[in-house]
Chain A
């Protein structure tokens, strides 16, 4: 009994000492690699500073592992306060079912659309004219990462674009360097889209993924894309594939692997390992071929909380939404994560050379290409992933067959 009184008194003291509107908010996300968790900790730190409490629920496995958990929790009536989630059709279903909080009033009040680097980012968050999510960064798959040390070993200058790199592959192999470092599973799925937009060019990209034009797939431009894809396939020895993309970052730093095409979030891991861009590694946005790259946002959704949830928690959701796009949070988060910020009106002079390149692209008038997530349904995406995985594993799978299969998926895209 006495113990209870003491506990109650302490709880009361704690309650009164924090801000009146303090609330605990559970946030689910799948940022679990070294660089990513350092970045998300910045959000948590800033949110805790407002007097609220960020209850961190990191779920491993991104779209495959975490997304089903998140969706089934929301569907099952046990929603978290806020969650990172794939934009696109999955979220659309939840929005239709009225399970996601409408953020339009906050967006209007804060004038989000005015300072967002690319208004197109909201397209994936908009449903019937209302905004349902907050993009917190712009990440892009379109980077060729090159290990300075590996090219030194092979005695070749670090390539300036994809074509130079492709011709260097045999020499790299001869020098005992892994020409293309690769992690097993999903990291492979991003590469063909990069080749499509950069080797094939933005025009081809918009025809194939934007308009689902199967004839464009049968064109000679697309053949170049498929051949580039086959070049990577033939450069990779399946026995050298490593388990995690963070391991590829280590291979690059050690000079064991020469190159990798991977999203900018690998830079978080390169930084955590202490590598310096320009010295230890080079980065080429758009594979050095194009200045218009595809970019999509990691977005936060705020589930509709059940009837009877205290006002404090609802207010905390609003507060978090505002905080995620605030200048301070954007700088802190993106410097750690290595992705581009969603607003261009902030001081990123401390950003490293790779990010500076990204910001320059962001500010160019042509802007970003819409991301594959918004152009293809996840169903089509899955079919393309299946095809790419098979093509990659089977070296006897011909480029012609690949093009034909690809075209038939694009034809039936929905």
Chain B
């Protein structure tokens, strides 16, 4: 349908001999689509961008419990980066993030490959693997807390069965607690990665497989050197979803360890919530959240450039 016909359908015939003006292009062209998109545009402008700017602005003030502080420049950021707890939180997130990113991506891909072998009951397995993702981080955290709590879970069960030296106290152990978190996080997120990867695998043309088979290339090499590069889009999208999810890791930590023991499993999002509501220091909390936002941009911008930037020959 051409623009002119479209506008005509809306009852506003446009003279065919005159090119449509700017106002017309802005408001009348594709009118119904624009009306439909308006709520989303408003929400994005007001809620997302507006509130983001608001947060960034107040991170430069000395706001306490309510946002009404005076401008104080970079002071909140100086304090933030001098705070032991923030440094510990950031390091924890980095360790946890890198490990779980690599782990969920690799295991998720391997599972997807296994699922791709035309196995029986595939949909059943898919449901089982995806199911953890349907649970919230809070539920996941609680379940794993029961399992890993030395006085309730696996350790006491094994000791009760006779292995009195069996020790599994990771969530009360300062050095191991991050790995406990990774177990729960991986359990939670791998199925989701698997499903995305599986969709990517299914998107690869059957002809390519046939060609590879004709050329006598072993299956594993086909996956690694032909299929994997073709799935670039899916992989990048998965990385972005999982990566930005990791930056805001919160509920899992709250339910599983509540940042403990001590500060050894603290994460930045918890710092933000704590200083916002508990400590009543909005300025400090918003400075921390602004730094988190910057971290998300570090992940997002390369993706935006790759996906929407100048198209290269693929």
Contacts and interface: CB of A to CB of B under 8 A. Distances in A.
Interface of A: 63-64, 67-68, 71, 75, 88-90, 92-94, 96-97, 184-185, 238-242, 377-379, 381-383, 386-387, 389-394, 405, 412
B174 to A, nearest CB: 5
15 contacts: A67-B278, A68-B277, A89-B64, A93-B280, A97-B66, A238-B174, A239-B151, A379-B281, A382-B281, A383-B83, A386-B85, A386-B263, A390-B88, A391-B262, A392-B262
B278 A389 contact: no
B65 A93 contact: yes
Interface in B35-70: 64-66
Q: Which of A89, A97, A185, A393 has the most CB of B within 10 A?
A: A393
B277 A93 contact: no
B150 interface: yes
B5 interface: no
A68 B273 CA distance: 10
A390 B261 CA distance: 8
B279 interface: yes
Chain A interface mostly helix, strand, loop or mixed?
Answer: helix
Contacts of A394: 174, 262, 264
Contacts of B173: 238
Contacts of A92: 65
B172 interface: yes
A394 B279 CA distance: 23
B84 interface: yes
B112 to A, nearest CB: 38
A390 B280 contact: no
Interface of B: 64-66, 79, 83-85, 88, 150-151, 169, 172-174, 258-264, 274-275, 277-281, 284
A393 B277 contact: no
B277 A382 contact: no
Contact of B260 (A64, A184, A379): A184
Most buried by A among B150, B172, B259, B277: B277
A381 B279 contact: yes
B277 A71 contact: yes
B174 A378 contact: no
A93 B66 contact: yes
A94 B66 CA distance: 8
Contacts of B264: 393-394
A164 B205 CA distance: 79
Contacts of A93: 64-66, 280
A93 B68 CA distance: 9
Contacts of A379: 64, 275, 279-281, 284
Contact of B278 (A94, A96, A382, A387): A382
B151 A89 contact: no
Q: Which 9 A-B pairs have the closest CB atoms?
A: A393-B262, A382-B279, A93-B65, A68-B277, A393-B261, A93-B66, A238-B172, A379-B281, A386-B85
Nearest to A393: B262
Contacts of A381: 279
Nearest to B276: A68
A158 B262 CA distance: 31
A242 B65 contact: no
B262 A390 contact: yes
Best-surrounded residue of B259, B261, B264, B284 (most CB of chain A within 10 A) = B261
B284 to A, nearest CB: 7
A185 B262 CA distance: 9
Given A238-B261, A379-B280, A393-B262, A89 B65 contact: yes
B263 A389 contact: yes
Nearest to A386: B85
B79 to A, nearest CB: 8
B15 to A, nearest CB: 53
A381 B83 CA distance: 14
A89 B280 contact: yes
A92 B172 CA distance: 38
A170 B94 CA distance: 40
A35 B150 CA distance: 28
Contacts of A64: 274, 277-278
A394 B263 CA distance: 9
B260 A185 contact: yes
A176 to B, nearest CB: 15
Contacts of A405: 84
Given A185-B260, A392-B262, A393-B264, 11 more contacts: A90-B280, A94-B65, A94-B66, A96-B66, A238-B173, A239-B151, A378-B278, A378-B281, A382-B278, A389-B263, A394-B262
